[in-house]
Amino acid sequence: AAVDDRLTGRENLRMIGELYGLRSRAALGRADELLDRFDLTGAADRMSSTYSGGMRRRLDLACALVVRPSVMFLDEPSTGLDPTSRLMLWDAIEGLVSQGTTLLLTTQYLEEADRLARDIAVVDHGRIIARGSPRELKAQAGGQRVEAVVSRRGQLDSAAALLARYGTRAPDVDGPRGMVSVPVDGGVRLVTQVIAALDDAGIEVTDIGLRRPTLDEVFLALTEAAPGNTSRTAVGAGAANEKE
């Protein structure tokens, strides 16, 4: 974290603000705002050398957000953050974008890209292998799936045969979990039909639902054909307005 250990949290933020040309009062006001946003108010006047690793990371990120730039680059900003701090950061980023900032984000966390990015480029060994909105990329991985968990493992094959009639491809069977999943094209109405068919066949289920693939699944599907890859990343760009 690029913070000055000899300064307090408030002094670090105030210094950054003044280096960017803010007047002293404005820099102090922005510092207080960010200390509150990143839950550092209680430690604002402590030397940053006494901060925990997570607190230092939050302060470092707050320093990056002192000004509101028209274009901002963030390289894996949530690495090392606990879930609460990560949500704080995401809220701050969404606030910046809503106020007009264009963001280019690189991240290994696909959940982060899914929440923040309007346009995603998947990079594999330095090459863009896919690009689109989260919805468009998920459609490439098979769109929606019906997943059903049977009560009795002995009915797993029967459930798979039944769901195969409604799927666009052969179903996947997860024996240890007692689950059958199949890609479908029909939405919620189709789930209702599947539930009725399972009931008519006497197949008991403990859970059934319709879901879209996650971006993690999309990423694995896109890169599984490239064996030996060890360095992969997903890049998300959140534009401030439509023309960008």
Q: E-strand spans in 151-231? A: 172-174, 179-183, 205-211
Q: Judge whether residue 241 has pLDDT over 60.
A: no
Confirm or reject CATH 3.60.40.10 for domain 69-140+213-244, answering yes or no. Answer: no
Class of domain 144-211: alpha beta
DSSP code for 98: H
pLDDT at res. 231: 46
Q: Which residue has the higher pLDDT, 243 or 135?
A: 135
pLDDT digits (tens, 9 = 90+) for 200-235: 999 999 999 888 778 887 888 787 755 455 444 555
- What residues contact 210, with CB distance under 8 A and at least 6 apart? 144, 145, 146, 147, 184, 187, 188, 190, 191
CA distance 55 to 61: 10
pLDDT digits (tens, 9 = 90+) for 148-161: 999 888 899 999 99
Domain residue spans of the chain? 1-67, 69-140+213-244, 144-211
Verdict on whether the full-model pTM lies above 0.85: no
